[in-house]
Amino acid sequence: MGLFDIFKKKSNEKKVVSTAQETLLKQTAAIPESEKKYYQADSYYTAKSHEGTPFENEVISFEQRKKTSIPSNNGLYVPEILMLHFCKKYPNPKSGYPGYWWYKYGIRDVGSIYESLVERGFIIINDKTEKYELTNLGKSELEENAYVPYMHSHSKYTTFTIWDLNKLLGTGDKSNYLEIIEKKHTEIDNRNEASNKTFMKELKVIDPEGYRLLKSQDKQIKAVQAADEKYAEDKDLKWIINFWEEIWKDGGPKFEGSGWMFRLPDLYIKAKRYDDAMVIVQKIKKTKGSYYSNKADSYITKIEERKTKEAAKKIK
């Protein structure tokens, strides 16, 4: 996503009444008590992502997505296909249900969708592992729709999403998905570059200070995107942590968005460096916008819980 796309205002944009909040409340209430421990605190889930920032977006519920996306030949939609890919982690996920199921795919009650996939014959429970595994139907479904897990793990910060790719591929042969992705990314990159150049040229004249700030932000955003793409490929946790530590030595992200703001704490938690994670979360709470306060509090609670569990393991 280029700077022009992030900061421009669309004066002709129609206001859409969202049902995200209604869906959120309904699905949250439906989650069994025994499953709640696998989710973040209810306050973590909101109807808008990155609320109060230039990156603010309405969460589009799965039910809404169904109205505009194309199901597979077996009747599955994008999130359901992705769930097949990750099925071996569930149920009772060791690290809980990731937030992206809600914020990217509009599903709050993840467990209920998995139960539905069992009922429809795509997955079964393995008696030995007590985890889901694919049936022959599930394996076939995943093979025919390989674009879904690929796009999920190789997504770029552009306006081209997995939902757009879903519409382009339609119901026919999807084996050319890599070619389509590359073509669309090239088109978007070229368009963004031209738009950004025009925007920055005008801004330099009317607001020199704003120009310097956005140029600095743009440089950091590109570095972050490149780093995340590298990490998605090589999974080098030590390297990506070092990268984000350098970002924070320079004051942290120069742009808004809770995903990026809490990226280093997430990585520290993954590496079980809980004290380091706590330091950054406390810094976010004290020095960044007030709209990060609630999330910072939930992270503090999560970190303390993880530390307690680790301490208990050592005693045993």
Write down the pTM of the prediction.
0.61
Q: How confident is the model at residue 233 (pLDDT cuts 50, 70, 90)?
A: confident
For 109, other C-beta atoms within 10 Å of its C-beta total 22
Q: Which tokens belong to 184?
A: 């669309």
Sketch the domain layout of the chain as residue ranges: 18-144, 236-315
**How is residue 70 annotated by DSSP?**
-
More confident residue, 70 or 44: 70
More confident residue, 84 or 22: 84
Percentage of the residues of the chain whose pLDDT score is greater than 90: 53
Q: Give the Å distances, CA to CA, from 216 to 157, 183, 210, 246.
A: 18, 28, 10, 15
Q: How confident is the model at residue 186 (pLDDT cuts 50, 70, 90)?
A: confident
Q: Which tokens belong to 224?
A: 């972050």
Model confidence pLDDT, tens digit, residues 112-148: 999 999 999 999 999 999 999 999 999 999 999 999 9
CA atoms within 13 A on the CB side of 285: 15
More confident residue, 231 or 197: 231
Model confidence pLDDT, tens digit, residues 46-89: 998 876 665 678 899 999 999 999 999 999 999 999 999 999 99
Supply the pLDDT for residue 132: 98
Asked if CATH classification 3.40.1350 holds for the domain at 236-315, the reply, yes or no, is no
